[in-house]
Structure 1
Amino acid sequence: MTAAGWPGEETDAPPMPGGRWRRLLARGGGRLVALAEAEGERWVLWLPVAFGAGVSLYFGLRQEPDWWIGAAAVGGCMVLVLALRRWFAMAGVAMALLMLAAGLLVAQAHTIHMAAPVLSRSIAGATVTGRVMAVERRPGATRITLRDVTVSKLAPERTPAALRVRLSDRFPAPTPGSVVRLRATLLPPQAPAEPGAFDFQRRAWFMGLGGTGFATGAPELVEAPPVTGWSTVAIAFEKARGAIAERVAVAIGDPVEASVTTALLNGEEFGIPEATMDDFRNSGLAHLLSISGLHVGIAAGILFYVVRALLAAVPYIALRWPIKKIAALFGILSALGYTLLVGAPLPTVRSVLMTGMVMGAIMLDRHPLSMRLVAFAGLVTMAMDPEGMLGPSFQMSFAAVVALIAAFEKGSVRLAEWRRDAGWIVRGLLYVGGILLTSVVATLATLPFSLFHFQQIAFYGVLSNLIAIPITSFWVMPWSLIAYALLPFGLEAPALIAMNWGDRAVIWTAEFFGRLPWASLTVPAMPADGFALLVMGGIWLCLWTRWWRWLGMLPVLAGLASPMLAVRPDVLVAGDGTVMAVRLPDGRLSASVKGGGRMTETWRERDGERSPADPWPGDGGWSGGGRSLDCDALGCLYRVQGKTVALLRLPDALDEDCGAVDAVVTAEVARRCRGELVVDRWILRHEGAHTLTVTAEGVAVKTVRGLRGDRPWTGGK
């Protein structure tokens, strides 16, 4: 018997409450299940996303997990997958959890693997001996990376495995592979300039770099045994990069054009003047100077078509050998050689993986471009360098490729139909339209990452790329390959000069668009939460193919709006307390010292400001907009929202200010100060850089250590 009567019996009883909603929910659930089933081939693409989420989870922890946690999580998830293997949906969720745990485990294992001593304090006048593994030629200086290092003032067990030392251009640069001895001042890797800023300490840990410094004298050559193993190959390619730079300097007289040509040939951007780099950044063409997928793909593609054409020209070979597959093999070898020659940066490693898989697909008679190909390349790249996933190179590179393939998937069929019966004029227009569409898609895909990492938007990027990319593809890169072929014979000068004609056009394009009014816009730093929303929304938008993909626009728009909603701090304090800054009534930052170096430059960039404001007055002050700053020889009093922050220059002001203000900041020791909030030398040394946000309720403090926690690269566990 049912609530309405006996089975089959007519009844006038009203329907059960909520029955309509249950039917609607059931219908909606059925449609959702049908939609999920229709996207069945795309679910596997989320496994690398889950792996990346595990990597992000590891780096977001404030305490280093015990060594067994990652392995235990993977083992538990494997058991869960086996237990749920008969239920497809549940098994999929368990598989995603397994990839999440695998990402955490790989990141944790990589951290353990890269463990090496790191300098904890500055060392002046040390005698440093080491083998030169890399030479970076910069305007006014040369930076060398030393390995197998010994330091006169450090015990062997506390000596870093590698150091990066800057040499004056007054001294000749040593040869890669040589062993040198020099006097230097050594510094620990620099901590972030403020909470949330770029963490060079973490990057240095995964580069195996235990410290930086500058030489105070000329390097002296030391007799040492020759290198062996993989180091021999690395040094050989480093010497080749140096030889290329020297040949280019001889063939091309203009130093700016020579530096750009060198960057495109061997990946060295360090010699490009800062003004030229600014033009490339403002015009949206900086990616052309960073060896990445564009260059590797063009190099492999050119060699693929040249080898195929040459083999096809010989009837005996063309009729008997698989010339397309042979050409694909040459494409793989060219991509690998090019990657080694430019130093194998992360975007190039990703590109050579993808290029190898594209050419491998050609050799196996498979479709060469697919989202699964990108997913596999991303998974391998993250496994090779988990920390690199957090950097702009990885993120912008994959964002552009994923977005382009997603757009290609939607439009390739229609484009093929248009091309099938089109004449040469229509084909030309389609080509131009393809370049324009590619530039638009790639620009939009990389824009969020440019906002997050560099706080910059290039408004003319589409137009500048529309001019510069064809020049690079059809003139610069072919001549660069010819120059590579002629370099061993010393006949490269004509090819380098021809290549430079194209480089000159690209430089002119960067200068023209980079110096136009409103060429670029700087914005305040995007909050990490907004960036996470934006990334997940973008992934959702690109990985699905049905209508629900457009739901990803909601988090994308929320992430793009987050910089406008972010509240920047009122006071910033460097980790050693020597530089401070306060917010002016017009929103800009005024620093305690003129200049301030990289510290204040980072603060301005994250504020979205380009030009520095006047520094604090030595005596006197200003007021306006509810803010004021009063300074004398002992320090300054900053007032905002009815609160007062004392920013001390000398310790003599401690007794007077400690009990009379809401917060005290000093680079000295303030043991006797019993104020509401005291930031002194010991707190700065322990917590790192501080930011203070003043409200009517009080002064909110954020610190670098409070955000990062205690991790191996911070000197923690």
Structure 2
Amino acid sequence: MNGYIAYNLKKEWHNLILWAPVLQGAGILVYFSLSFEPNLTTIILIFLLVLSLFAVIVFYYRKYLILLLIIALLFLGFISAVIKTRLTSTHTINQKIYVKNIIAKVKEINKKGSYEQLLLSEVQNISKIGNIKITVRTKVEENVDIGDRVTLSAVLFPPNIAPAEYSYDFARISYFQKISAVGFATSTVTLYQKANSKKFHEYIESFRQYIYSNLQKNMNKLHANITAALLIGKKDGIDKNVMNVIRNAGIAHLFVISGLHLAFVSNLFFLLFRNAFALSETITLKYNIKKISATICIVPTIFYLLITGMQISAQRAFIMVTLVVIAVLLERKYNSLTSIAFAAFGILLFQPESILKPSFQMSFSAVLALIASYQISTEKLPTGKTIKYFISILLSSTVASLATMTYTIYNFNYISIGGVVTNLVAIPIITLLTIPMGIIYVILIPFKFEWLISGAIEYSIDVVLRLSEKVANVKYSTLYVHSIYPAAVIIITIGLLWLCLWQRSWRFWGLVIIAIGIFIGIFYQIPDILVVSNNAATQENDGLLYSLTKKNRNFISVAWAKQNGQLKALHYKNYNREDKRLSCDDFGCIYRSAGKSVLIAYKQESIVQNCDKIDLVIQLNKFIYPVCNTSVIRYDDLEIYGTHSIWLSSKKIKIKRIRSDRPWHLSGLNAFIQHRKAELA
């Protein structure tokens, strides 16, 4: 076996560089998987010690050089995540607060359905606070723009931690976005001071807002919001029901700024500049207008990247497009796999937290799979151009869907079966009509001729939406799937990388690795009990999740249900049936499974009655309870540590809680410690 691996590695020595960002990413994942915050000095000393040891070994045995490089790349990923966390150092509020007449600078303005959402920075009247995200259901004065200072009163909350074990952790995302608090305005947002001058990023954001406002003037609200999402990455304005239709129809990937957008902009300006230079015979004969045009077209491409909001997928696309230009300038052959590896390495170096985002996972997996499958699809497709085009769409859609399916399930708990059909129509319309016309629309805005093509853009969107609605309404076009283990996701990812990065036949061992990951993922065990301070749900004999409260439609309950492969948690109609695991009275409920029993207590009387009969007590209301030798999850624990997931087996009761002692969760823990000290005092 060692000989087989050594032989193939020798033959594919030139492809080893492609694994550099993989090792870098592994180091980042190790950092984020820790339950504690590592000491930077200790980590550096350990690394220097290990590196020195291996350096001595490599000096005598050159064949171990590869191990030295592996360690260096793993450490690079780990230390970049540590440093980024330390440099970010966001101070988060630890409790609900009321603020009156605060003054802050407007950083972003987003439409969110029928109301607006503001991102405010440089907040005055509150000490040690970074950005705050405010929902405005009252009113924002019309003349408020990016960079202006506004005054308002608001209710602020700490950013929400994840509602379930593998859910989107807004607290962690907010930490790296330097968001210290979220909340809602209780007064009109009024202009305090108009900006005399703006910073560069404020000019860019102002232009994004100008494009968005222009779209709202020339199109109806639905089409304007969809066009804004397609062109400049402003998705928040899209109606929730419409977005659900788009997701269920399997075309949500078209609403991500990607290589299609950046390549179109780059190619458009390349052709414009090249044809303009070609008008002069002197310039054409004296200079290489191809190289000059390729260099200049980077400028509008960078500008477009900035007005899209610098999404991860757009950053990846920009890096890859730039490498194409560099290949033209150096007269070298462009290598797609090397460019995607370079893009991943660069993004992870400066934004290590991005590896945990669905946009990074799905963008890179889809593009990598498409690049790897390209040679097969081009060599074996029919010769007819039209037939070849639509078959290539079908194949690319299928390949991309399969490559991203694991991350879709892990992050969103669904699979869109109808997406393959929808993409056959949607991809040609969006890629050949909507996006090119939209980019031309933006270019025409300064000349006041953009309204000429707004109708054509709206029509193309209507066709895609009508098809999406029909596909989304077909039974079983969308399947809801329970969560899978992170270990399964990592194994499947390794399999995908093995399949796509190697070139020889041993690459197909990646299919075996993927199969192992799928097998592990299938057997994920859903928690028997999920509980937070104001909500609880239990799994019944039918495998479905039932809510103990009437809050089965709130954010937490929906997140729990989705991780169990349900649209929403069900309600108990009868708590005391023999076929149910749960039985209740006026004071609380007892849940029985695998020979264990858990008391969910609403009142202290329930603990008095059942203290010696159960294995675990969950205090679901704030009350003083009697001394009980049984293990207890206190109400304060639920408030501070968030959702508790509980698994019951004949051997033990396993409990996992969401909040950790990492920096993005630390404010809640500090509040908990202060509260405990006050109680003891």
Work out the CA distance in 2 between the residues paired with 1:316 and 1:460: 56
Shift of 1:395: 0.8
Work out the CA distance in 2 between the residues paired with 1:312 and 1:239: 36
Q: 1:163 aligns with which of 122, 126, 132?
A: 132
Shift of 1:272: 0.7
Q: 1:194 aligns with which of 133, 151, 164?
A: 164
Shift of 1:450: 0.7
One-letter code aligned to 2:558: E
Shift of 1:281: 0.7
Q: 2:344 aligns with which of 372, 375, 378?
A: 378
- Report the counterpart of residue 340 of structure 1 in structure 2: 306
Shift of 1:87: 4.6
Instruction: Write out per-residue CA displacement over residues 590-625 of structure 1, whole angstroms, 9 at most, x where no aligned residue.
Output: 2232235111111011111014312x46xx624354
The answer to whether the 8 A contact 1:537-1:554 is kept is: yes
Work out the CA distance in 2 between the residues paired with 1:526 and 1:687: 23
Work out the CA distance in 2 between the residues paired with 1:376 and 1:77: 27
One-letter code aligned to 1:100: L
Question: Do structure 1's residue 278 and structure 2's residue 236 form an aligned pair?
Answer: no
The 1:494/1:78 distance shift into structure 2, 3 A limit, reads farther
Instruction: Write out per-residue CA displacement over residues 103-150 of structure 1, whole angstroms, 9 at most, x where no aligned residue.
Output: 111111100100021111111354432111011111122111111113
Question: Do structure 1's residue 714 and structure 2's residue 650 form an aligned pair?
Answer: no
- Report the counterpart of residue 178 of structure 1 in structure 2: 148
The answer to whether the 8 A contact 2:162-2:658 is kept is: yes
- Report the counterpart of residue 67 of structure 1 in structure 2: 40
Instruction: Write out per-residue CA displacement over residues 143-196 of structure 1, whole angstroms, 9 at most, x where no aligned residue.
Output: 111111134xx5x2xx32111111005444642111112111111111121233
SS state at 1:701 partner:
strand
The answer to whether the 8 A contact 2:480-2:565 is kept is: yes
Question: Do structure 1's residue 602 and structure 2's residue 559 form an aligned pair?
Answer: yes
Between 460-469 and 94-103, report the one with greater CA deviation.
Answer: 460-469
Work out the CA distance in 2 between the residues paired with 1:698 and 1:432: 55
Between 430-439 and 594-603, report the one with greater CA deviation.
Answer: 430-439
Question: Do structure 1's residue 662 and structure 2's residue 629 form an aligned pair?
Answer: no
Work out the CA distance in 1 between the residues paired with 2:17 and 2:623: 57
Work out the CA distance in 2 between the residues paired with 1:225 and 1:436: 50
Shift of 1:511: 1.9
The answer to whether the 8 A contact 2:138-2:186 is kept is: no
- Report the counterpart of residue 136 of structure 1 in structure 2: 110
Q: TM-score, normalised by structure 2?
A: 0.92
The answer to whether the 8 A contact 2:140-2:190 is kept is: no
The 1:333/1:525 distance shift into structure 2, 3 A limit, reads same
Once the two structures are superposed, the pairs formed by residues 235-274 of structure 1 within 5 Å of their partners are 235-253=202-220, 255-274=221-240
The answer to whether the 8 A contact 1:47-1:99 is kept is: yes
Between 198-207 and 64-73, report the one with greater CA deviation.
Answer: 64-73
One-letter code aligned to 2:301: A
Work out the CA distance in 2 between the residues paired with 1:81 and 1:401: 36
The answer to whether the 8 A contact 2:535-2:551 is kept is: no
Instruction: Write out per-residue CA displacement over residues 67-93 of structure 1, whole angstroms, 9 at most, x where no aligned residue.
Output: 213433554465456541675531011
User: For this pair of structures, how many residues does the alignment match?
Assistant: 665
- Report the counterpart of residue 31 of structure 2 in structure 1: 58
One-letter code aligned to 1:695: S
Work out the CA distance in 1 between the residues paired with 2:170 and 2:282: 58
The 1:45/1:307 distance shift into structure 2, 3 A limit, reads same
Q: 2:71 aligns with which of 93, 97, 103?
A: 97
Q: 2:511 aligns with which of 553, 578, 593?
A: 553
Unmatched runs of 5 consecutive residues or more in structure 1: 1-27
SS state at 1:621 partner:
coil
Once the two structures are superposed, the pairs formed by residues 244-643 of structure 1 within 5 Å of their partners are 244-253=211-220, 255-309=221-275, 311-312=277-278, 317-409=283-375, 414=379, 426-574=384-532, 577-596=533-552, 597-614=554-571, 616=572, 621-625=575-579, 627-643=580-596
One-letter code aligned to 1:69: T
SS state at 2:654 partner:
strand
Q: 2:7 aligns with which of 34, 38, 49?
A: 34
Work out the CA distance in 2 between the residues paired with 1:541 and 1:86: 34
Q: 2:631 aligns with which of 671, 674, 677?
A: 677
The answer to whether the 8 A contact 2:562-2:568 is kept is: no
Shift of 1:476: 1.4
SS state at 2:179 partner:
coil
Shift of 1:712: 5.0
SS state at 1:210 partner:
strand
The 1:513/1:307 distance shift into structure 2, 3 A limit, reads farther
SS state at 2:18 partner:
helix
One-letter code aligned to 2:567: R
The 1:90/1:663 distance shift into structure 2, 3 A limit, reads same
Aligned residues: CA RMSD: 2.5
Largest Rg, 1 or 2:
1
The 1:299/1:640 distance shift into structure 2, 3 A limit, reads same
Work out the CA distance in 2 between the residues paired with 1:99 and 1:331: 34
The 1:363/1:55 distance shift into structure 2, 3 A limit, reads same
Work out the CA distance in 2 between the residues paired with 1:519 and 1:325: 48
Between 65-74 and 257-266, report the one with greater CA deviation.
Answer: 65-74
The answer to whether the 8 A contact 1:637-1:646 is kept is: yes
SS state at 2:598 partner:
strand
One-letter code aligned to 1:645: V
Work out the CA distance in 1 between the residues paired with 2:59 and 2:18: 19
Between 662-671 and 384-393, report the one with greater CA deviation.
Answer: 662-671
- Report the counterpart of residue 109 of structure 1 in structure 2: 83
The answer to whether the 8 A contact 2:527-2:646 is kept is: yes
SS state at 1:595 partner:
coil
The 1:637/1:126 distance shift into structure 2, 3 A limit, reads farther
- Report the counterpart of residue 600 of structure 2 in structure 1: 647
Work out the CA distance in 2 between the residues paired with 1:697 and 1:81: 44
One-letter code aligned to 1:434: S
One-letter code aligned to 1:629: L
Work out the CA distance in 1 between the residues paired with 2:277 and 2:473: 47
Instruction: Write out per-residue CA displacement over residues 247-279 of structure 1, whole angstroms, 9 at most, x where no aligned residue.
Output: 2122113x2222111212221111111111111
Work out the CA distance in 1 between the residues paired with 2:320 and 2:422: 26
Work out the CA distance in 1 between the residues paired with 2:48 and 2:319: 29
One-letter code aligned to 2:628: R
Instruction: Write out per-residue CA displacement over residues 303-355 of structure 1, whole angstroms, 9 at most, x where no aligned residue.
Output: 33454455556655544442332332344223211111121122211221111
One-letter code aligned to 2:29: S
Work out the CA distance in 1 between the residues paired with 2:225 and 2:2: 60
Work out the CA distance in 2 between the residues paired with 1:678 and 1:670: 13
The answer to whether the 8 A contact 2:138-2:185 is kept is: no
- Report the counterpart of residue 675 of structure 2 in structure 1: none
